[in-house]
């Protein structure tokens, strides 16, 4: 269960979130919880999450370890903060910052080299879905962005299916639509990495996940977890999501 804070919250607001969130998740289901705040909040998040089941991730990285790349942050730098995960290829990065399947692959390899767990995002836009191209788009993103990994690298990644039309719009894919897309992604992974590895990779659903719809999404056997944007900013709402079975 991953929270993507996008460009929200300062370090002080991060600490306040954890103050409220910590007591709420103690009794939560034994799922893995990852919160991905903006870069400047990583130290505050790691410190606040210490001693809890909550892990911390970044939202992006650059593939070089260091160098003259003004404004960029590397995998080893993220790892040094105590963060364990990193989101890669989020649709907002693809849409506004020129991220491509090729850069997604490079960043995924860099994350693994830095001992970070990459959460690699794929997803179709509304025009793709409306013109019946969903499967073709997802397969292409998987082929170019993920299939280039070695088998032992693939075993360490998490995939997030995030239909672009459902992000921040309040339009959730129905559980059946999400499950169908997860099956497409898993089938494509099977072609590249075989039955066992494709069966084991975790695929999260993301796009307007809320406390009220998490249960029906998680009831789909194809959906292994969720990547939550807006509803992860509020401690009570994200706690309700991570403790969805109760």
Q: Residues 79, 85, 90, 182: which is the catalytic one?
A: 90
| Residue 171 or 196 with smaller CB distance to ligand PGA | 171
**Cα dist. 140→42, 56, 66, 133, 170 in Å?**
33, 30, 30, 11, 26
Decide: 204 and 160 in contact? Cβ < 8 Å: yes
| Residue 117 or 208 with smaller CB distance to ligand PGA | 208
Site for ligand PGA in 202-221 (CB under 6 A): 206-209
**Strand partners for 85:** 57, 117
Q: Is 85 a catalytic residue?
A: no
CB of 168 to ligand PGA, least distance (A): 4
| Residue 197 or 237 with smaller CB distance to ligand PGA | 237
CA distance 63 to 99: 12
Number of neighbours of residue 94 by Cβ within 10 angstroms: 21
Rule CB under 6 A: is residue 74 a binding residue for ligand PGA? no
Rule CB under 6 A: is residue 4 a binding residue for ligand PGA? yes
Compute CA 154 distance to the chain's CA centroid, rounded to the nearest angstrom.
Answer: 15
Site for ligand PGA in 132-191 (CB under 6 A): 162, 167-168
Decide: 29 and 37 in contact? Cβ < 8 Å: no
User: 22 Cβ partners below 8 Å, 6+ apart?
Assistant: 48, 52, 54
Q: Residues 124, 162, 188, 222: which is the catalytic one?
A: 162
- Binder to ligand PGA among 230, 235, 238, 240 (CB under 6 A)? 230
CA distance 163 to 126: 8
CB of 30 to ligand PGA, least distance (A): 23
| Residue 33 or 193 with smaller CB distance to ligand PGA | 33
Q: Which stretches of the chain bind ligand PGA, using CB under 6 A?
A: 4, 162, 167-168, 206-209, 227-231
């Amino acid at each position: 269960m991953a929270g993507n804070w996008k460009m929200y919250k300062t370090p002080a607001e991060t600490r306040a979130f954890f103050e409220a969130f910590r007591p709420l998740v103690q009794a939560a289901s034994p799922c893995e919880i990852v919160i991905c705040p903006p870069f400047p909040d990583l130290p505050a998040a790691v410190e606040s999450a210490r001693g809890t089941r909550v892990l911390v991730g970044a939202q992006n990285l650059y593939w070089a370890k260091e160098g003259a790349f003004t404004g960029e942050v590397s995998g080893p730098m993220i790892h040094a903060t105590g963060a364990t995960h990193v989101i890669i290829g989020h649709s907002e990065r693809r849409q506004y910052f020129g991220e491509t399947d090729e850069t997604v692959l490079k960043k995924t390899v860099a994350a693994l080299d830095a001992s970070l767990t990459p959460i690699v995002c794929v997803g179709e836009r509304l025009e793709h879905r409306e013109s019946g191209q969903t499967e073709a788009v997802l397969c292409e993103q998987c082929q170019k962005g993920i299939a280039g990994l070695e088998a032992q690298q693939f075993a360490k990644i998490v995939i997030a299916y995030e239909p672009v039309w459902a992000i921040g719009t309040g339009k959730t894919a129905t559980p059946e639509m999400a499950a169908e897309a997860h099956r497409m992604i898993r089938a494509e992974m099977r072609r590249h990495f075989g039955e066992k590895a494709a069966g084991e990779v975790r695929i999260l659903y993301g796009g307007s996940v809320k406390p009220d719809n998490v249960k029906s999404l998680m009831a789909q056997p194809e959906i292994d977890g969720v990547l939550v944007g807006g509803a992860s900013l509020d401690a009570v709402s994200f706690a309700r999501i991570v403790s969805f079975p109760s």
